[in-house]
Amino acid sequence: MHHFTYKNGALHCEDVSLEAIAAEAGTPVYVYSDATLRRHYGVLADAFTDTDCLIAYAAKANSNLAVLRTLAELGAGADTVSGGEIQRAMHAGIPASKIVFSGVGKTEDEIRIGLEAGIFQFNVESRPELHRISRIAQEIGKTASIAFRVNPHVEAGGHAHISTGAAEHKFGVAWHEAEEFYREAADLPGVDPVGIGVHIGSQIMSLAPLKEAWTRVVGLARTLRENGVNITRLDFGGGLGVPYKPGDDPETPAQYAAAAREVLGDLDVQLILEPGRLIAANAGVLISRVEYVKERDGRTFVVLDAAMNDLIRPAMYSAHHEIAPLREPEAGNTRISVDFVGPICESTDRFAKDRPSTPLKEGDLVAFMTAGAYGAVLSSQYNSRPLVAETLVRGDAWSTVRIRPDFEQMIALERMPDWLDG
């Protein structure tokens, strides 16, 4: 469910015409829907009303400050994976007491940022990291609440590149070593082992692998409690998938919540969730303009002004995004098969191959649907294309929430060495 619909023949976000945004903000441009963000957060929160649950939105999915602030207003916490994300979340108004810090490579500086802010929890991924956190916490006179992210040896996720729970993946501590790690942590100063974390992948369409992983975690919590480690929190990670194309049928938040409750049984713990895509994906689109329609060797290439640097998911994960014309096609319109491509000199700069589409011409506008998660956050300035702009709609109002840098801003971080000056 989202708030991008045709009204009077033109695609709108809530009550704003996307053509109007494109005309003023230029293209390519991301457009996010406040109502959709709120709805997704609300549906998930409602599904867990009877459970003591912190929804720590995975900031990596879309960390625009306005998006984070919108979610902060709703009471969301944040799952973060860098010092920058911790600072971003706090800057947007998410209290440190709701921030979880995940990630396999936390640097000394990042750990300090988390400790000094007094974040809710560190999800620890290795023994050396445990000792590093313990040492820094002692140095600055703090105690870190920690969970080990365990690797449950359960494979899941929509694409091999976004599956994280198998033994070959770099994530988490080994299942067979987990108990030993908790014993070790219990004896270390500066750290307080209070939780267990798990995250097995992203764009997961079925609950079975999640339930399998959670069940293992619940079993471990019971064992640890019997052995005197007071586990009070379980972090069930993120990963629930979203529909990218007709026919995609992920489990609903209500089914997800029912499964979590079933697995938890009578275990009295606080639950932490780290959803990213579920909240942000359907809340955003990327608008692009057709630059050229190029016919060659029996193919029709629709060359857009958006490129892989603006939306890398098709190039990186063979991801499918529906591509909708901003002008509503008439009923019974003809469809032709086209390749949607960007202008970058790489063959992977192709958004879709042999895609049925209404005929398009130079100047027409299209929207990449379901682009609110892992879209703008993964954008770059490759080919010296300015970073893509972002906008946020609320009802009949909209605002630019990240500007498109001009040339001076694009080069502002670069310096000439002395020997090239003058």
Give yes or no for residue 237 binding ligand LLP (CB under 6 A).
yes
Told to judge if 345 belongs to the known catalytic residues of this protein, a careful annotator would answer yes
**CB 28 within 8 Å of CB 388:** yes
Query: Which residue reads 């840098």 in tokens?
Result: 405
Give yes or no for residue 195 binding ligand LLP (CB under 6 A).
no
The residue (of 238 and 386) whose beta carbon lies closer to ligand LLP is: 238
The residue (of 37 and 338) whose beta carbon lies closer to ligand LLP is: 37
CB of 8 to ligand LLP, least distance (A): 33
The residue (of 307 and 338) whose beta carbon lies closer to ligand LLP is: 307
**CB 33 within 8 Å of CB 14:** yes
CB of 9 to ligand LLP, least distance (A): 32
Give yes or no for residue 85 binding ligand LLP (CB under 6 A).
no
Of 158, 164, 153, nearest in space to 199 by CA: 164
Give yes or no for residue 289 binding ligand LLP (CB under 6 A).
no
Q: What residues pair up with 4 in beta bridges, in sequence order?
A: 13
Give yes or no for residue 102 binding ligand LLP (CB under 6 A).
yes
Give yes or no for residue 277 binding ligand LLP (CB under 6 A).
yes
Among the listed residues 14, 274, 349, 390, the single contact to ligand LLP using CB under 6 A: 274
Rg (CA), the chain: 23
Of 253, 240, 246, 378, nearest in space to 321 by CA: 246
What would the two tokens of residue 196 be? 């267990």
Q: What residues pair up with 260 in beta bridges, in sequence order?
A: none
By CB under 6 A, the residues from 290 to 319 that bind ligand LLP are 313, 317
Looking at 234-242, 245-253, 329-337, 356-364, which segment touches ligand LLP (CB under 6 A)? 234-242
For residues 345 to 384, the per-residue mask of contacts with ligand LLP, x marking binding by CB under 6 A and - elsewhere, is -----------------------------x----------
Among the listed residues 27, 63, 163, 202, the single contact to ligand LLP using CB under 6 A: 202
Query: In Å, how far are 79, 108, 133, 192 from 82, measured between CA atoms?
Result: 10, 11, 14, 21
Give yes or no for residue 238 binding ligand LLP (CB under 6 A).
yes
CB of 86 to ligand LLP, least distance (A): 14
Give yes or no for residue 276 binding ligand LLP (CB under 6 A).
yes
93 dihedral zone (left: phi>0; alpha: psi -120 to 50; beta): left
Of 104, 99, 151, nearest in space to 128 by CA: 104
Looking at 38-46, 89-97, 134-142, 274-282, which segment touches ligand LLP (CB under 6 A)? 274-282
CB of 240 to ligand LLP, least distance (A): 6
Give yes or no for residue 260 binding ligand LLP (CB under 6 A).
no
CB of 197 to ligand LLP, least distance (A): 8
Give yes or no for residue 151 binding ligand LLP (CB under 6 A).
no
1, 160, 345, 420: the catalytic one is: 345
Among the listed residues 47, 53, 61, 178, the single contact to ligand LLP using CB under 6 A: 61
Give yes or no for residue 58 binding ligand LLP (CB under 6 A).
yes
What would the two tokens of residue 132 be? 């590093």
Give yes or no for residue 278 binding ligand LLP (CB under 6 A).
yes
Among the listed residues 79, 129, 305, 349, the single contact to ligand LLP using CB under 6 A: 79
Q: Which residues have a catalytic role annotated?
A: 345
Query: Which positions lie near ligand LLP, rule CB under 6 A?
Result: 58, 61, 79, 102, 162, 199, 202-203, 237-239, 274-278, 313, 317, 374
